[in-house]
């Protein structure tokens, strides 16, 4: 049986306070911030512009379509930020957790985003290490319970592989437009006399070479359906990334042992409560045999509450200099109230 009992030495040598703080911040701020930004853009900008409300009342059709295209590209960019976060987490799943922060920040965009294609081609059982999900015998589980847990693991791996294959396909279709927009290349808005499909109004093309003939065009479709799909994908990407991050934090609390099921955690009165979840969320409850395995394993493990306090020191002179920089007049409209 490979269940380890948590202790201070394991946390210090295998996990570290730096990794715990980094993952906790990634979970509670960075990942969710992508959702907040897109919610603000869709509700505060795209919706009123689409309906020609408020400041957008009476806007000219071409100007309106161009702004809708720009907001779509901005949302696509935010989706790519979340994809890059997820790709980094996936890319580092075999690396020691104590090295996670340094390696995370050093991974390039290309390396992060290529993780989807690479992992979508590996055998399903290899994807169990991404979470990680342990074999039943590593918990000392046999018989029908082992069969049930093994089936659960394979189902998670199968759905994960399908999701990664979709992300690889999404990246293949959108990477050209995203990179050209990010680097400031020329954007052309196409207005269609007739919608290509319901919820699709036209396209935003981003060209690399602009002469008398526009060549090497990357593009993204524009319309309500595109926005809804991008927003839904963002929620799925962020949700998956949070599952992976939260699981690593849970392993720190249990001395390196992953719980047998994916679960979410809440803390009440200084004690964490762990609730099994279906694959990537959902309302369906796991079968009773899996709940029993989960509860039994949880009872056998020792849990430790981990609180990490990091002291950040900023020299007073440096702080004062930053404050003074924003207080003084800036050229152009940077100095306007």
Position 189 scores a pLDDT of 66
Coil, strand or helix at 301: coil
Other C-beta atoms closer than 10 Å to the C-beta of 167 total 24
Looking at 3-7, 51-55, 204-208, 221-225, which range is the least confident one?
3-7
Residue 3 confidence (pLDDT) above 50: no
pLDDT tens-digit readout, 263-292: 988 877 767 788 887 666 555 678 899 999
Following DSSP, what letter does each residue of 225-271 receive, concatenated? HHHHHHHHHHHHHHHHHHHHHHHHHHHHHTTTPPPSS-EEEEEETTE
pLDDT band at 4 (very low <50, low <70, confident <90, very high): very low
Position 12 scores a pLDDT of 83
pLDDT tens-digit readout, 20-34: 999 999 998 889 999
**With contact defined as beta carbons under 8 Å apart, do 201 and 189 qualify?**
no
Cα separation of 191 and 201, whole Å?
7
* Cα-based angle 119, 125, 128 (whole degrees, multiple of 5): 75
Between the CA atoms of 134, 138, 140 and 142, what dihedral angle is there, to the nearest 10 degrees?
A: 60
Six token digits for residue 323? 């404050």
Coil, strand or helix at 281: coil
**With contact defined as beta carbons under 8 Å apart, do 298 and 259 qualify?**
yes
Position 305 scores a pLDDT of 77
Which tops the pLDDT comparison, 8 or 175?
175
Position 66 scores a pLDDT of 87
**With contact defined as beta carbons under 8 Å apart, do 251 and 258 qualify?**
yes
For the entire predicted model, the pTM comes to 0.89
Position 1 scores a pLDDT of 40
Query: How much of the chain, in percent, has pLDDT values that exceed 90?
Result: 60
Helices vs strands, H then E, count in the chain: 12, 5
Residue 312 confidence (pLDDT) above 70: yes
Coil, strand or helix at 67: helix
* Over residues 66-83, mean pLDDT: 94
Position 291 scores a pLDDT of 93
* Over residues 306-331, mean pLDDT: 86
Between the CA atoms of 287, 288, 289 and 294, what dihedral angle is there, to the nearest 10 degrees?
A: 100
Cα separation of 331 and 316, whole Å?
26
Looking at 46-55, 203-212, 245-254, 313-322, which range is the least confident one?
203-212
Bond from prior residue into 132 cis (ω within 30 degrees of 0) = yes
Residue 206 confidence (pLDDT) above 70: yes
Residue 61 confidence (pLDDT) above 70: yes
Q: Classify the C-alpha dihedral 175-177-181-183 as positive or negative.
A: positive
pLDDT band at 202 (very low <50, low <70, confident <90, very high): confident
Following DSSP, what letter does each residue of 111-135 receive, concatenated? HHHTHHHHHHTS-GGGGGGGTT---
Q: 29: which strand partners?
A: none
pLDDT band at 7 (very low <50, low <70, confident <90, very high): low
Other C-beta atoms closer than 10 Å to the C-beta of 162 total 12
pLDDT tens-digit readout, 91-124: 999 999 999 999 999 999 999 999 999 999 999 9
Position 193 scores a pLDDT of 57
Residue 74 confidence (pLDDT) above 90: yes
Q: 273: which strand partners?
A: 266
**With contact defined as beta carbons under 8 Å apart, do 139 and 3 qualify?**
yes
**With contact defined as beta carbons under 8 Å apart, do 23 and 242 qualify?**
no
Cα separation of 26 and 38, whole Å?
18
pLDDT band at 335 (very low <50, low <70, confident <90, very high): low
First and final C-alpha spacing in the chain: 65
The size of the chain, in residues, is 337
pLDDT tens-digit readout, 124-178: 999 999 999 999 999 999 999 999 999 999 999 999 999 999 999 999 999 988 8
């Amino acid at each position: 049986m490979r269940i380890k009992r948590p202790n201070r030495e394991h946390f210090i040598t295998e996990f570290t306070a730096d990794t715990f703080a980094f993952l906790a911040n990634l979970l509670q701020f960075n990942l969710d911030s992508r959702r907040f930004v897109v919610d603000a853009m869709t509700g505060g900008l795209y919706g009123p512009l689409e309906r020609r409300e408020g400041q957008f009342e009476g806007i000219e059709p071409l100007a309106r379509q161009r702004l809708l295209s720009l907001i779509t590209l901005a949302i696509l960019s935010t989706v790519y930020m979340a994809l890059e976060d997820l790709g980094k987490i996936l890319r580092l799943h075999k690396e020691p957790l104590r090295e996670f922060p340094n390696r995370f920040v050093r991974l390039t965009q290309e390396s992060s985003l290529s993780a989807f294609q690479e992992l979508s081609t590996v055998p399903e059982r290899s994807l169990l290490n991404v979470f990680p999900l342990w074999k039943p015998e590593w918990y000392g589980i046999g018989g029908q319970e082992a069969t049930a847990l093994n089936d659960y693991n394979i189902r998670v791996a199968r759905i994960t592989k399908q999701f990664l294959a979709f992300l690889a396909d999404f990246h293949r279709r959108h990477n050209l437009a995203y990179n050209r927009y990010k680097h400031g290349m020329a954007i052309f808005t196409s207005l269609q006399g007739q919608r290509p499909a319901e919820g699709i109004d036209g396209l935003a093309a981003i060209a690399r070479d602009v002469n008398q003939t526009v060549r090497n065009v990357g593009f993204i479709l524009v319309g309500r359906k595109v926005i809804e799909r991008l927003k839904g994908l963002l929620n799925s990407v962020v949700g998956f990334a949070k599952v992976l991050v939260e699981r690593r934090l849970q392993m720190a609390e249990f001395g390196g042992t992953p719980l047998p099921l994916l679960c979410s955690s809440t803390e009440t009165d200084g004690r964490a409560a762990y609730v099994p979840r279906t694959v990537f969320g959902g309302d369906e409850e796991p079968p009773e045999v899996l709940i029993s395995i989960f509860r039994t394993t949880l009872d056998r493990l020792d849990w430790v509450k981990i609180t990490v306090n990091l002291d950040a020191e900023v020299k007073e002179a440096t702080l004062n200099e930053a404050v003074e920089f924003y207080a003084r007049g800036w050229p152009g409209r940077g100095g306007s109230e």
